[in-house]
Amino acid sequence: MVRFFLLLTLLGVVACGGISYLVVRQRNQSRQELVGAINRVKQKDLELLKNETELTTTKANLVQTAAQLNELRAKNTSLEGDLLLTKDQAAQLEKKLREAEEKLARAHDETDPTTQDKVQELEKEKENLQQSLEAARNEIARLRGMVEGSGRTALPHPVKGKVLSVNRTWNFVILDIGEKQGLVENAELFVYHNKQYVGRIKVVSTEARSAVADILTDTVKGKIEPGDEVSGGTRE
């Protein structure tokens, strides 16, 4: 009888030990799973913080780029005003030059010897007007070159991207590609909406991974929207 109770007691001890082992093992496993879950949450938080920081930086860069674009447009408007003014001055000089040439022709026809001084004076006036007109024409060429820029720039290799946003007030778009993808200023890109051509844009400012481009309104055949595809550098 005593042996029976001893055996029963021993079995109870073994059972308790086994249960304790299972409980400890399950507890440790739960702790490991909890630690893993916490680490995953921390990693997600770090990734979220990184993404938020990058988004904030991108937004700041876009705001700065838009400001630079407005500044460039204001400068371009000023140059266009200077160009128109210079053209007007050149037109006035051409008119004065024609008048001086007519006066000089009449003076040469006169036989009065006292007109010699007048002829010399008119010759000098004509020379000065010709020099002023030549200077005005050179200035027109210089200003026109500044307004037009370097024209269309060829891309070193094909590029593809998408429209991030559209500013319809100033007719420009922001792209998700930039210098890292080989995009350069003054390059022209084709825009497609659902695979359908809707117009062309011209790059005016580039960052590492973004760019600003003017919408070439005379080429638009549809509404350019965020998400539209852009491409260039190949024959379309």
Residue 227 φ then ψ, to 5°: 100, -15
pLDDT at residue 177 greater than cutoff 60: yes
Number of domains composing the chain: 2
Please determine, for residue 118, whether its predicted confidence score (pLDDT) is greater than 60: yes
**Of residues 71 and 2, more confidently modeled:** 71
* CA nearest neighbour of 150 among 101, 100, 186, 199: 186
82 and 123 together in one domain: yes
Examine residue 165 and state whether it is found in any structural domain, yes or no: yes
Tell me the CATH number at 218: 2.40.10.340
- Same domain flag for 167 and 210: yes
Whether residue 188 lies inside any domain: the answer is yes
Residue 20 has pLDDT above 70, yes or no: no
pLDDT (0 to 100) of residue 43: 78
- This prediction has a pTM of 0.42
Question: Rounded distance, CA 133 to CA 10, Å?
Answer: 120
What pLDDT is recorded for position 82? 75
Q: Strand 211-215 to strand 188-193: parallel, antiparallel, or no bridges (unpaired)?
A: unpaired
Task: Looking at the structure, tell me whether residues 124 and 170 fall in a common domain.
Answer: no
Q: Is residue 55 part of a domain?
A: no
- The helix/strand/coil state of 23 is helix
Which band of pLDDT confidence, cut at 50, 70 and 90, is reported for residue 150? very low
Same domain (yes/no): 109, 139? yes
Does residue 11 form part of some domain? no
Domain region containing 80: 76-148
Per-residue confidence (pLDDT) for residue 50, from 0 to 100: 73
Q: Measuring CA to CA, how many Å separate 165 from each of 47, 173, 175, 217?
A: 25, 6, 7, 17
Instruction: Based on the fold, state whether residues 138 and 113 are members of the same structural domain.
Output: yes
Is 206 a member of any domain?
Answer: yes
Q: Using an 8 Å Cβ cutoff, are 100 and 129 in contact?
A: yes
Residue 95 lies in a domain: yes
Q: Which of 128, 148, 168 is the last residue of a domain?
A: 148
Confidence of residue 15 (pLDDT cuts 50, 70, 90): low
Measured between alpha carbons, how far is 226 from 1 in angstroms, rounded to an integer? 89
* Sign of CA pseudo-dihedral 168, 174, 176, 182: positive
Residue at a domain's end among 148, 172, 197: 148
CB 88 within 8 A of CB 94: no
Last residue of a domain, one of 104, 121, 148: 148
**Res. 174 pLDDT band, cuts 50 70 90:** very high
Q: Could you read off the pLDDT of 160-170 as tens digits, one per residue?
A: 999 999 998 88
Note whether 134 and 167 are same-domain residues.
Answer: no
DSSP designation for 18:
H
Whether 184 shows a pLDDT value over 50: the answer reads yes
In a domain, residue 23? The reply is no
- Confirm whether 50 is domain-assigned: no
CA dihedral in degrees (35, 38, 42, 48; nearest 10)? 140
Task: State whether 141 and 189 are in the same domain.
Answer: no
Does one domain contain both 134 and 169? Answer: no
